Structure 1
Amino acid sequence: MEGHFSERSDVYSFGVLLLEIVSGKRNTSFYNNEHSISLIGFAWKLWNEENIKALIDQEIFDPVFENQILRCIHIGLLCLQELVNERPSMTTVVSMLNSDIVDLPPPGQVAFVQRRNLLSPVSSENNQGPNSVNNVTLSEIQGR
């Protein structure tokens, strides 16, 4: 999205996939009006509020597997950490999923929490609507 490609970009993508599976929602179509946040931001908010169970899709929830589902969310958040060097390698992720690594570290701040609203007006002198923010072109968004 807005980051740089690295050897840990696949780890980030896998973390997004884990959250999408557990929540039953797609990151690209998730939108929370309350804080203009993505699925990733919503998961991070719930994690910090110690209410991460609210992320779990009720279609897949089974109390028997609750700990495994919560572990997947935890691993997903570890994959989404903002600092690339703090993300686990895919080999480590597999070990975490297989429970070879029992104690998981707490996740740090995740990347891309805030979603930019491309339809909100850009502050300008005339403020006529959503326009490009670069100095080369001026674009207006119009429906077909």
Structure 2
Amino acid sequence: MDLKFSNFNKTPQKFFDILPLDWQEIVVSQWEKYKSTASIYVFKELEELIAGGIVFKKGHPNMTAFEESHNYLYDENYFYIGFVWVIPEKRNQQLASKWLVKLKEENKKQKYWLTIEEESLTYFYKKNGFKLIAESKNVISKEWIFTFKP
């Protein structure tokens, strides 16, 4: 597998096109607002876009009240990781983990934070060096916030 990791801000629509439709509705409609303080990083294999995510430096789209209560992390120089996606036919090849490794290598001193809405992802992020710092009280739409410090 010959993977190429790169910044993809010049042609963001190509990345948006691989995302699920509900994510596209969120990010595409608000990209103009965030594009100057966000970076899209992708994996390509033989020129095919197979995985990626967005790093937000000063706020991100569709913030929940729970996320807003952790907005102070931006002030502490944490960047937010969102919209991490691997195309279905390339799943189970550890691409999301490899994407996180490459992202951390790009900025060795950078701190990150993220939110998950599926408890099953807690193991994945802990395995990749993230620490659980908060869990929402909302039982209907549960959220967990993780941070990474190099």
Give the TM-score category using the shorter length.
under 0.3
Q: When you count strand as a share of all residues, which structure comes out higher?
A: 2
Q: Which has the larger radius of gyration?
A: 1
Q: Taking structure 1 as the reference length, what is the TM-score of the superposition?
A: 0.27
- The structure with higher relative contact order (CA 8 Å, sep 6+) is 1
